[in-house]
Each structure stands twice: as C-alpha cells, then as structure tokens.
C-alpha cells in the first residue's frame, strides 16, 4: 500500500463541489472513478479543502492509498487519460509517508477571488470570475480588508451549514489588487470557515462600491451574526490556490 499525494487543477463549473454527492458530479468522484479505472481499487480521496459547487482549483492537494504497484508518474498519466473529458487534471503525483494527510497535515490554505469590474458581460470568463458592474475602489477595499486580518470570531462570515467546531480563526492575509478592470482578492489562513472567503469578498465589494466604510465592516465582524453579512459573493470567482505542509517550501 502506498500513499500518493496529488496536486489537482479543476474547473468547478460542471461539479456540485469537491465532495462526493448522491445527486450530481463531484471532483472527488471523478478522481476516485479514475483511480478505480486504473487500479481496480475502490479508494477514498481526501483533499486539503472541500470546495463548494462552482469553485475552482488551481493546485488543490489530495491523497489516496493505493495497493497496486505503480510509479507516481505512470499513475498521473493514467489518471489524466481516464479523467477526460472532465475538466480535472493531475498536475503532480508523488509517493508520501503513510502519516501525510492532505487535510490534517495541511498548515496553510490560500485562495484567490477574481472580479472583472466592468459593465459588459463576460465571454470566456463566464463562470470563472464575478462581474461587478459598479466601479470598485480597490485601495479602499484593501484598507478595509485589514480589519479582518488576525484572530477573530468570524461568525458573520460563516455559512449556517458550517461544521467547524469554532468560528474563531486567524486570517493571515487578505489583500486586494487591481490591474486594469481586474480586481483580485488574496486570502490566506491555516483554515477557513464554510463560505468565509465568499462572505468576506461580498462585504469588501460593498466597501469598493462606497456603500460600506471600513467601520461598517468592523461592525459586521463584531456583530458575530450572520444577519450582519452584506452579501455572499458567487462561487464563480473563487479559486483554491495552494495548500502548504510542514517541510515543503
């Protein structure tokens, strides 16, 4: 039995999310089915994060235990061949220690949220970014975002379906950059609550539109009440970027 770690890119548009669902396709199922096709083994694939329907992965990390003797490179090539035409690709595959766990060993997660700030509808980016029509002040968004950085009770920014034991998390980074009509929001933390990034982005958009001040954002945070949330941004613009592990650079 070998534990294999995978780096996975996926387009979230056709999926109900990462996690296997009875009622529709998932990234987890696509990979598990591909492994079964290659090894004839029914294995469980564990990921660093369970993304929602419509959320994308740039470099999701995952692992599975496989009995068949196969080299990591050959496994990667075989899985990519089997995954077609699903928009899921194994970017890297390596054998890891038996106690390496994609979720529980992970010490840092980062996301990027992509906004296209213009009136015109999206073309090839439809479903891959959030189009915001109102002009956004990215500098104001970045300034207000710093209110959320640090150790806080993020109940306001947490889905009612969140299963996390505690709403208290440390947000390491929340930065906003503009390049032309593109506004990118980068978020990093050891872990996030369910819907936390999308909820923070929704409130930052309110700041960018001039409808909320940084003080309004602080008041929403301190309310510790989901009802204080301005807006939950759509999944379209959200990408799981990176998971970090001890001993990795």
Residues whose CB is less than 8 angstroms from the CB of residue 26 and which lie 6 or more positions away in sequence, other chains included: 15, 16, 17, 18, 19, 20
Q: CA-to-CA distance for 27 and 17, rounded, in angstroms? A: 7
Q: CA-to-CA distance for 83 and 89, rounded, in angstroms? A: 7
Just list the catalytic residues: 52
Tell me the two tokens of residue 136. 């956004």
Q: At 114, is the secondary structure helix, strand, or coil?
A: strand
- The minimum distance between CB 39 and a second copy, in angstroms, equals 19
Residues whose CB is less than 8 angstroms from the CB of residue 192 and which lie 6 or more positions away in sequence, other chains included: 49, 109, 111, 169
User: Toward a second copy, which CB reaches closer, 14 or 158?
Assistant: 14
- The minimum distance between CB 227 and a second copy, in angstroms, equals 34
- The minimum distance between CB 57 and a second copy, in angstroms, equals 8
User: Toward a second copy, which CB reaches closer, 33 or 77?
Assistant: 77
Nearest alpha carbon to residue 205 among 172, 229, 171: 229
Q: Is the CB of residue 163 less than 8 Å from the CB of residue 196?
A: no
User: Toward a second copy, which CB reaches closer, 128 or 149?
Assistant: 128
User: Toward a second copy, which CB reaches closer, 91 or 214?
Assistant: 91
Nearest alpha carbon to residue 139 among 185, 188, 176: 176
Residues within the interface to a second copy (CB under 8 A): 9-11, 13, 56, 76-77, 80, 83-84, 87-91, 118-124, 126, 128
- The minimum distance between CB 123 and a second copy, in angstroms, equals 4
Is 111 flagged in the annotation as binding? yes
Annotated binding site for substrate: 111
């Amino acid at each position: 039995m070998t534990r294999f770690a995978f780096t996975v890119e996926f387009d979230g548009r056709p999926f109900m999310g990462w996690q296997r669902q009875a009622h529709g396709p998932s990234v987890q199922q696509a990979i598990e089915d591909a492994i079964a096709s290659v090894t004839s083994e029914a294995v469980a694939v564990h990921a660093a994060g369970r993304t929602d329907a419509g959320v994308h992965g740039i470099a999701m990390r995952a692992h599975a235990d496989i009995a068949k003797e196969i080299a990591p490179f050959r496994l990667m090539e075989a899985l990519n061949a089997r995954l077609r035409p699903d928009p899921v690709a194994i970017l890297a595959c390596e054998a890891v220690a038996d106690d390496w766990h994609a979720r529980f060993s992970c010490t840092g997660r980062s996301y990027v949220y992509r906004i296209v700030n213009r009136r015109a509808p999206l073309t090839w980016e439809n479903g891959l970014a959030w189009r915001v029509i109102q002009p956004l002040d990215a500098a104001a968004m970045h300034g207000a975002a710093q209110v959320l950085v640090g150790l806080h009770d993020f109940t306001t920014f947490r889905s009612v379906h969140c299963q996390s034991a505690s709403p208290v998390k440390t947000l390491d980074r929340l930065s906003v950059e503009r390049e032309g009509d593109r506004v990118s929001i980068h978020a990093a933390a050891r872990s996030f609550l369910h819907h936390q990034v999308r909820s923070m982005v929704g409130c930052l958009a309110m700041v960018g539109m001039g409808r909320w001040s940084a003080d309004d954002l602080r008041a929403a945070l301190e309310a510790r009440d989901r009802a204080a949330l301005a807006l939950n941004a759509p999944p379209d613009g959200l990408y799981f970027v990176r998971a970090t592990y001890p001993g990795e650079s």
